[in-house]
Chain A
Amino acid sequence: MSAAYPTTWRKPPQMIQSRGWRIALAIGAIAYLVLAIGSVEINWTRVIAGMERAQRFVAGFLQPDFTTRWRDISNGLMESLTMTFTSTVVGVLISIPIGVGAARNVAPQWVYYICRSIIAISRALQEIIVAIFFVALFGFGAFAGFLTLTFATIGFIGKLLAEDIEDIDEAQAEAIRATGASWLQLINYAIQPQVMPRLIGLSLYRLDINFRESAVIGIVGAGGIGAALNTSLSRYEYSSAGAILLIIIAIVMVSEYSSGYLRKWVK
């Protein structure tokens, strides 16, 4: 074979071109990992003691006990489900005007900034923190949970809806504008048909998320099945906790499957 061709080849670096930077980044990453792992304190005696509990939990998960706490479970479940549905409906209804207002191509500047900040606040605040405040303001129970989930839904749907509207086909919007249509007509004829199917898809997706969240905010007193879970875990009743977790998983699976089916049907 001709010796004219090189016999070595190295893959050129894909992301970071400079060799110095690559080395610096690698050293930095390793140093961080060493420091971070070093700061994890593990109390081995406690961990070993915990293994017995872990076994009991696994056993509880495999032999769930639905009956002993059935009243708590069914009440919590009912609260979670009703809270999920109402908060999704109200949240989506509120997020529609906010989403439209947060779309740069259809909203005036000052409306745009107001709506964007509402969305930013809603997204930045963790559901749990919001729930803590709503519980402090509105008292324990499902109503605070409903408000929390509604608030979170607004940020989620509002942002995605605004992005969708900003992505719409400008040609169609232009065409409608050229007819001298009013702003409302523009929304109705140019925007709505283009984003409606996705809005329905997003709402179904959010329904799913809201149910999962509803199982958590009960931990801080905002109603739902999370409260029952919290109680059974703090009493080390692992078979009841296992039952609740299995119910949550089952409902999430059913809702995922059926929302996938619904989404197909809507399209």
Chain B
Amino acid sequence: MLRIEGLTKTYKTGDKALSDVSFEAPQGQVIGLIGPSGAGKSTLIRCINRLVEPSSGAVWLNDINLAALRTGELRRARRRIGMIFQEYALVERLTVMENVLSGRLGYVGFWRSFTRRYPGADIANAYRLLDRVGLMAHADKRADALSGGQRQRVGIARALAQDPELLLIDEPTASLDPKTSRQIMRLIVEICRERTLPAIINIHDVVLAQQFSDRIIGLQSGRMVFDGPPSGLTEAVLTQIYGEEDWTAMRKGASDEADAEAEEKAQTEQMLRAL
């Protein structure tokens, strides 16, 4: 079980990214973390496994305060926290299998990992996970030979190879098309159910968050402004989270921008041809 108490982060640049965030995540709960870009979502989940050092506050995972651990202890604690990234963050030039096995790095010694001689149980487990995410046939391919959706599946398998007690997931679908996004979200939620894993998922997309999470936490300028069931996300709440702007217009705006860019490009080309 995860319990966060008074978590605050002020970056060296003076940005106050988080102020006094507290909540509890019981076993098996999938929490959708929503908020506009810059609200502090990434900072929050990175403070949990300390890829970002929190300024103050406590992060309790099964009676261990992660925020107070020293280097060696922190490494041991990180082994049980799986993380899935927006841009997949696979080691592009290694094979899919090596990427999945890298989830075991915290458990095996340097020399074993360097020579790729992982214990048989780890390898069998890696194959099982690859089978689970539907990539059994791709084990020996290099990670950069896969499509976006496939890469994210490898990312999921890597996180699961750690045998985690908690999953931290940062915008898992931001680089994927809508259909793949749904598939990936469904896979993540299914896996959390199978293993009764608690998970914190940052999502930009309110509709996806609503559909797939058990509970929603809304962040705005580093403060928690909503905590409740997905059904509680009313227009009023969303306006509070995303500010005065209409939140439905936000996503439309993004696609408008892309359209405008494409149009500009076409126009330039046309002009050049007319020269």
Contact with B along A1-39 (1 / 0, CB 8 A): 111011111111000000000000000000000000000
CA distance A171 to B272 in the complex (A): 8
A11, B269: Cβ atoms closer than 8 Å: no
The smallest C-beta distance from A172 to any residue of chain B, in angstroms, reads 7
Q: Is A179 an interface residue (CB 8 A)?
A: yes
Any B CB within 8 A of the CB of A178: yes
Q: Across chains A and B, which 10 residue pairs bring their CB atoms closest together, nearest first?
A: A7-B120, A5-B127, A5-B124, A175-B272, A175-B275, A7-B124, A12-B140, A9-B123, A5-B128, A7-B123
Q: Is the CB of A9 within 8 A of B97?
A: yes
Given A1-B121, A1-B125, A5-B127, are A11 and B98 also a contact pair (CB < 8 Å)?
yes
Q: Which residues of A contact B139 (CB under 8 A)?
A: 9
Q: Which residues of B contact A172 (CB under 8 A)?
A: 272
- The yes or no answer to A176 lying at the interface (CB within 8 A) is yes
Contact B273 A175 (CB under 8 A): yes
Q: How far is the CA of A7 from the CA of B121 in the complex (A)?
A: 6
Does B95 have its Cβ within 8 Å of any Cβ on chain A? yes
Can you list 10 A-B pairs with a CB-CB distance of less than 8 A? A1-B125, A3-B124, A5-B127, A7-B124, A8-B120, A9-B116, A9-B127, A11-B95, A175-B273, A175-B275
Binding site for A on B (CB under 8 A): 95, 97-98, 101, 116, 118, 120-121, 123-128, 131, 139-140, 269, 272-273, 275
Task: List B contacts of A179 (CB < 8 A).
Answer: 275
Known: A1-B128, A171-B269. A12 touches B121 (CB 8 A): no
Interface string of A118-143 (1 = CB under 8 A from B): 00000000000000000000000000
| Residues from chain A with Cβ under 8 Å of B116 in the complex | 9-11
With A7-B120, A9-B97 known as contacts, the answer to whether A176 contacts B128 (CB < 8 A) is no
Interface string of A168-196 (1 = CB under 8 A from B): 00011001101100000000000000000
**Cα distance A116–B116 in the bound complex, in angstroms:** 48
B131 contacts A5, C-beta separation under 8 Å: yes
Hey, which chain A residues are within 8 Å of B273, CB to CB? Answer: 175, 178
Min CB gap B146→A, angstroms: 16
Q: Which residues of A contact B101 (CB under 8 A)?
A: 9
Q: How far is the CA of A12 from the CA of B140 in the complex (A)?
A: 7
Q: Which of A35-88 contact B (CB under 8 A)?
A: none
Query: Looking across the interface, which residue of chain B has its beta carbon closest to that of A2?
Result: B128
CB distance from A178 to the nearest CB of B (A): 7
A73 to chain B, nearest CB (A): 46
The CA-CA distance from A11 to B140 in the complex, in Å, is: 7
Separation of A11 and B95 alpha carbons in the complex (Å)? 8
Q: Would you give the shortest CB distance from B275 to chain A, in whole angstroms?
A: 5
Which residues A185-235 have CB closer than 8 A to chain B? none
Known pairs A5-B131, A11-B116, A171-B269; A178 contacts B124 (CB<8 A)? no
Q: Determine the residue in chain B with the shortest Cβ distance to A176.
A: B275
Shortest beta-carbon distance from B104 to chain A in Å: 12
Given the complex of chains A and B, what is the CA–CA distance between A11 and B101 in angstroms?
12
Are B275 and A178 interface neighbours, CB within 8 A? yes
Residues of B within 8 A of A9 (CB): 97, 101, 116, 118, 123, 126-127, 139
Considering only CB atoms, which chain A residue lies closest to B115 in the complex? A11
Smallest beta-carbon distance A183→chain B, Å: 17
Smallest CB separation, B248 vs chain A (Å): 39
- Bound together, the chains give a CA A181 to CA B187 distance in angstroms of 60
Most chain A CB within 10 A, of B125, B126, B139, B275, is at B275
A177's nearest neighbour on chain B, judged by CB, is: B275
A5 to B122, CA, bound (A): 11
Q: How far is the CA of A8 from the CA of B120 in the complex (A)?
A: 6
Which A152-176 residues have a C-beta within 8 angstroms of B?
Answer: 171-172, 175-176
Residues on A with C-beta less than 8 A from B98 are: 11
Nearest Cβ in chain B — how far from A190, in angstroms?
A: 10
Residues of A with C-beta under 8 A to B275 = 175-176, 178-179
Output the least CB separation between B43 and chain A (Å).
31
B residues near A176, Cβ cutoff 8 Å: 275
B123 neighbours in A (Cβ, 8 Å):
5-9
B128 — which chain A residues lie within 8 A by C-beta?
Answer: 1-2, 5
Task: Name the CB-closest residue of B to A178.
Answer: B275
Closest to A10 in B: B116
Interface core residue of A3, A6, A9, A171 (most chain B CB under 10 Å): A9
A12 proximity list for chain B (CB < 8 A): 95, 140
| Distance of A5 Cα from B120 Cα, bound (Å) | 10
Chain B residues near A8 (CB, 8 Å)? 120, 123
Chain A min CB distance to B266 (Å) = 13
Q: Which residues of A contact B126 (CB under 8 A)?
A: 9
Q: Which residues of A contact B118 (CB under 8 A)?
A: 9
Which residues on B sit within 8 Å (CB–CB) of A3?
A: 124
Contact across chains for B269 and A6 when beta carbons are under 8 A apart: no
Instruction: Report chain B residues within 8 Å CB of A2.
Output: 124, 128
- Measured between beta carbons, the chain A residues less than 8 angstroms from B140 are 12
CA gap between A172 and B273 in the complex, in Å: 9
